[in-house]
């Protein structure tokens, strides 16, 4: 069979029974333009800069209050609560910014919200650019639920800012095209290896929905779900049936090209990223928060990456990436790729570490 180029690229080699599933999934007619969806041309720091900034923030402890990348100014900003740390920050090439609230104080806000306001239709994350916790509320939060949320938010004062989502938060699962389960369609995230054998990562709510996967609707089984986490986290590991599968470590860009993936990396606030999914193709945006919690109807998921990247049903499990780095797996969110939206992602390093996997 000739090679078929789609986001979930499936290639069957005659007589060899080799199947290649490339990260992402099929771009349907009428979906967004791949060219328009590519990440912005904003300058990016290199991986060393991101790692050194993260290490400094950890070293400073409560003298720091997070960090972010300022693409316009082309440097990292480190929030500090102690001005004596400013020279230490400058010594790494970052810019110090004195803020009011420490990471400990803002994490205290997260703890209060988790204990008192875990209401379906809400989400929250620390935004170091605001030095506040951003609470997002979807249209389903009304009546007594909204009154309860308002009471908790009011008690937290100016450490919290509230914004509204246009549509309900939901896992982005659908029936139709891409990687097909028994009754669902999702998107493949990244191919990985476990003890030298071929596997792939996708969303946990997809793994919960199907124990087997095919590369075509109604087609033969090519993989089985072996581990799935949702709610709490949102990732699943599937094993290819053919141990000799050629599972390329690439993401399809929907423009005839692909992006090689060589590593897993942690996201940082201000990072310019791209997402590939089976419904809407490739779209870009920015990381707005880390360690986010989303309260879906199905349960709460924590430790997520909060972005302004759009996504649509069927994009679940798809790849979030930055150049050659695997960043996240599409979980869910609000909005769509016509009007814009907010999407949350399971960090890939967490999933890879938990499953004992590595990029092939």
Could you tell me the domains of the chain? 10-41+170-355 (2.40.10.10), 47-98 (no CATH)
Active site residue 306: no
The candidate with the shortest Cα–Cα distance to 287, out of 16, 44, 59, 121, is 44
pTM of the model: 0.88
> What is the distance between the alpha carbons of residues 147 and 169, in angstroms, rounded to a whole number?
19
Active site residue 205: yes
| Range in 89-103, 106-120, 238-252 with the lowest mean pLDDT | 238-252
The pLDDT of residue 297 is above 50: yes
311-334 residue pLDDT tens: 999 999 999 999 999 999 999 999
* Helices 143-155, 103-116: inter-axial angle, 10-degree rounding: 150
Report CA 358 to chain centroid distance, whole Å. Answer: 18
Mean of all residue pLDDT scores within the chain: 87
> What is the distance between the alpha carbons of residues 144 and 323, in angstroms, rounded to a whole number?
45
259-287 residue pLDDT tens: 999 999 999 999 999 999 988 999 999 99
Asked whether the bond before 206 is cis by omega within 30 degrees of 0, the reply is: no
pLDDT given for residue 1 in this prediction: 30
Q: Are 20 and 10 in contact, with CB atoms under 8 Å apart?
A: yes
The candidate with the shortest Cα–Cα distance to 118, out of 301, 304, 351, is 301
> What is the distance between the alpha carbons of residues 262 and 285, in angstroms, rounded to a whole number?
21
121-142 residue pLDDT tens: 999 999 999 999 999 999 999 9
Q: How confident is the model at residue 253 (pLDDT cuts 50, 70, 90)?
A: confident
Q: Choose the catalytic residue: 234, 306, 315, 322.
A: 234
Q: Choose the catalytic residue: 187, 249, 316, 331.
A: 316
> What is the distance between the alpha carbons of residues 80 and 22, in angstroms, rounded to a whole number?
42
Residue range 194-204: mean pLDDT, rounded: 96
CB-neighbour burial class of residue 47 (10 A; exposed 0-12, middle 13-18, buried 19+) = middle
| 217, two tokens | 């609707």
Give start and end residues of each alpha helix (H) in the chain.
34-37, 47-60, 86-90, 103-116, 143-155, 204-209, 348-355
Q: Are 192 and 359 in contact, with CB atoms under 8 Å apart?
A: yes
> What is the distance between the alpha carbons of residues 175 and 166, in angstroms, rounded to a whole number?
23
Q: What does the DSSP assignment read for 307-348? A: E-----TT-TT-EEEETTEEEEEEEEEEEETTTEEEEEEEEH
Active site residue 193: no
Q: Choose the catalytic residue: 177, 205, 228, 245.
A: 205
The pLDDT of residue 119 is above 70: yes
Residue range 45-64: mean pLDDT, rounded: 91
> What is the distance between the alpha carbons of residues 189 and 250, in angstroms, rounded to a whole number?
10
Pair type for strands 160-164 and 132-137: parallel
Q: Specify the DSSP element, H or E, that contains 236.
A: strand 235-240
């Amino acid at each position: 069979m000739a090679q078929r180029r789609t986001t979930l690229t499936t290639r069957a080699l005659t007589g060899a029974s080799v199947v290649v599933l490339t990260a992402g999934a099929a771009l349907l007619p009428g979906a967004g333009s791949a060219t328009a969806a590519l990440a912005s041309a904003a300058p990016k720091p290199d991986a060393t800069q991101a790692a050194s900034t993260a290490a400094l923030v950890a070293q400073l402890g409560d003298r720091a209050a997070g960090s972010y990348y300022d693409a316009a100014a082309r440097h990292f900003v480190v929030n500090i609560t102690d001005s004596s740390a400013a020279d230490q920050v400058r010594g790494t090439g970052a810019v110090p910014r004195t803020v009011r609230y420490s990471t400990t104080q803002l994490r205290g806000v997260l703890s209060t919200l988790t204990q008192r306001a875990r209401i379906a239709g809400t989400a929250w994350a620390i935004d170091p650019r605001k030095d506040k916790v951003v609470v997002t509320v979807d249209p389903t939060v009304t009546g007594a639920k909204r009154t309860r949320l308002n009471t908790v938010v009011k008690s937290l004062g100016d450490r919290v800012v509230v914004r509204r989502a246009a549509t309900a938060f939901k896992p982005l699962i659908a029936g139709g095209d891409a990687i097909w389960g028994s009754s669902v369609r999702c998107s493949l995230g990244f191919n990985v290896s476990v003890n030298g054998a071929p596997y792939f990562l996708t969303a946990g709510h997809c793994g919960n929905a199907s124990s087997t996967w095919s590369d075509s609707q109604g087609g033969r089984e090519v993989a089985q779900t072996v581990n799935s986490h949702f709610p709490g986290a949102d990732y699943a590991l599937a094993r290819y049936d053919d141990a000799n599968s050629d599972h390329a470590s690439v993401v399809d860009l929907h423009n005839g090209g692909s992006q090689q993936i060589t590593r897993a990396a942690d996201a940082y606030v201000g990072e310019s990223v791209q997402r590939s999914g089976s419904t809407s193709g490739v779209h870009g945006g920015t990381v707005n928060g880390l360690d986010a919690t989303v309260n879906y109807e199905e349960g709460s998921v924590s430790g997520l990456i909060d972005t302004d990247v759009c996504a649509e049903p069927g994009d679940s499990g798809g790849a979030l990436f930055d150049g050659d780095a695997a960043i996240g797996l599409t979980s869910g969110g609000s909005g769509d790729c016509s009007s814009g939206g907010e999407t949350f992602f399971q960090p890939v390093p967490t999933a890879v570490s938990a499953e004992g996997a590595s990029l092939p």
